[in-house]
Amino acid sequence: MDNDSKLRLLYIGKMLQDTDEAHPLTNAEMMQLLEEKYGMTTHRTTIPSDIELLIKSGMEIEIIKSKPKKYYLNDYARTFTLPELKMLVDAVASFKFITKKKSDELIEKIVTLGTPSSVPSLKRNLWSEGRIKQENERIYFNIEAVNQAINEGKKISFQYFQYDVKKEQRLKHDGTPYKFSPYALVWNGDYYYMVGYSEKHDGIGNFRIDRIAKAPHILDEDAIPMPEDFDIAEYTNGMLRMYNSERCDVELICDNSVMDAIIDKFGTNANTYAYDMTSFKLEANVAVNHVFFSWIFGFGGKVKIKGPENVLEEYKDMVQKVFASLQ
């Protein structure tokens, strides 16, 4: 095969990368593109032969047997299909921890993974204006540092902040750095968290990545090993919005109508049992705190705490305080 033939195969393959079922190319159109873009003239019988060679080499080219014949690259031969790219675009647009500027940049990169004809459909119906977004891009450096520490098995130190009533950032604990052995990055409730061993709390804890004041410092100290019996999935499933507190086995009596919400939170492997004709019992290990009680309260009586008694009493006390605040 001479060099011109090799180049022609390369150019035809490149042209087909920009096709799909709705936007195929005919023999004549490819001949025209070869001449216009690459200054290469060819006979009308040559391209079909080249396409056969490309198919034999493993390229998944579909042929529409119309007059004239049309050719396009099978969507599943690509790294990402159009629906997959659409999901990625929508996910990036919805992430709260990504700034609008970074969202726009990432979306522009994602759409280049599709065909030129797919760009309008990827950007169509994309709603991002008005969404709450981060205002700085510090989080990307935070993620990079934490991920590096996890990969290298090292401890990190960092400062953590919270907002005051003036909506200004204030360092917690007078700016004293936390020392932490990160085990994993976890996505939960629109935010990124790192889960690991906190030396300040002398146990497993988590911190929101976007609340770290600046990129964590990776220490020249080996991280405290993750306990063999620690399951990150189990740890996160038992918490609401990653509020950590003492964990406890609870029994909840749930109306049959809330099963979707229970599965959304605890998954299809949740320990549920028929209770009576209108309700079921859920057994779960959860972090018992005000966030958990607020979640229960939000069901308007359709989820009730059966036990243990001390958790039920805590819940009653919280509800009484809520009613007292309305007086």
Per-residue pLDDT tens, the chain, 327 aa: give them: 566 777 888 888 888 888 888 888 999 999 999 988 888 888 888 888 888 888 888 788 889 988 899 998 886 666 677 777 887 887 777 777 777 788 888 888 888 777 776 777 676 555 555 555 566 667 888 888 999 999 999 999 999 998 887 878 889 988 999 999 999 988 877 788 999 999 988 888 899 888 899 889 999 999 999 998 888 887 776 666 566 667 889 999 999 999 988 888 888 888 999 999 999 999 988 888 888 888 898 898 999 999 899 999 998 988 888 888 877
Same domain, 280 and 320: yes
Does one domain contain both 111 and 46?
no
C-alpha dihedral sign at 83, 88, 90, 91 = positive
How far apart are the C-alpha atoms of 183 and 187, rounded to whole Å?
13
Both 209 and 245 in a single domain?
A: no
* 41 and 18 housed in the same domain: yes
Q: Tell me if 131 is assigned to some domain.
A: no
Structural domains of the chain, count: 4
133 belongs to a structural domain: no
Residue 244 buriedness (CB in 10 A; 0-12 / 13-18 / 19+): buried
Same domain, 287 and 310: yes
Q: Examine the domain organization and report whether 151 and 225 are in the same domain.
A: yes
Domain range for residue 169?
138-235
Does residue 132 belong to any structural domain of this protein? no
Which CATH number is 288's domain given?
Answer: 3.30.70
Query: Interhelix angle for 46-56 vs 27-38, to 10°?
Result: 90
Domain presence at residue 70: yes
pTM, two decimals, is 0.58
Asked whether the beta carbons of 283 and 305 are under 8 A apart, the reply is: no
Distance of CA 235 to the CA centre of its chain: 18
Query: Could you tell me if residue 114 is inside a domain?
Result: yes
Beta-bridge partner residues of 285? 249
Same domain, 231 and 252: no
